[in-house]
Structure 1
Amino acid sequence: MRTTVPSARLHQDALQFRLILAATYPFFLAAAALGRVRPVRAAGRPGLPAARRSVFGEARAMAVQAIPFAFMG
């Protein structure tokens, strides 16, 4: 019994991931931009600036966190 996944399957999964990322990235970019315009109150000490990513980096991070749910099941 083989437990390894063929490389063609891995390539197909990677391609699907990139396609879904490209399709959903604009929505996450809009959400990140809205989050900058209307910031959420930070939980923590007031007055201390939180380290922030760029809007584009934040959108990519949100997309990369959400997309794996499409591959579950």
Structure 2
Amino acid sequence: MHRSLNPASRLHQEAIQFRIILASTYPFFLVAALVQRTIPQARSAMPQRRRSVFAEARAMAVSAIPFVFMG
């Protein structure tokens, strides 16, 4: 079957798919970020600026999502 979608429409569909996958995986990564915060880690000599738990969860989700589209 031949697709007749123009490139703009295809990009829009991919953006929608990305948002759906982000919304569905975000709760998992939020739990992972919370667990990561509760586990004591060795503190480095230099103090690190930390993102919020929500920003950390979003960053983890956004970095993992491209693997869904590979293959």
- Runs of 4+ in structure 1 off by over 4 angstroms are none
What is the percentage of aligned positions where both structures have the same residue? Answer: 64
Residue 33 of structure 1 corresponds to 34
Counting only pairs closer than 5 Å after superposition, residues 23-62 of structure 1 correspond to structure 2 as: 23-41=24-42, 46-62=44-60
Residue 54 of structure 1: how far off its partner (Å): 0.3
RMSD: 1.5
- How far, CA to CA, are the matches of 1:20 and 1:39 in structure 2? 30
TM-score, structure 2 normalization:
0.83
Which residues of structure 1 form unaligned runs of 5+?
none
- How far, CA to CA, are the matches of 2:39 and 2:24 in structure 1? 24
TM-score, structure 1 normalization:
0.81
Which residues of structure 2 form unaligned runs of 5+?
1-5
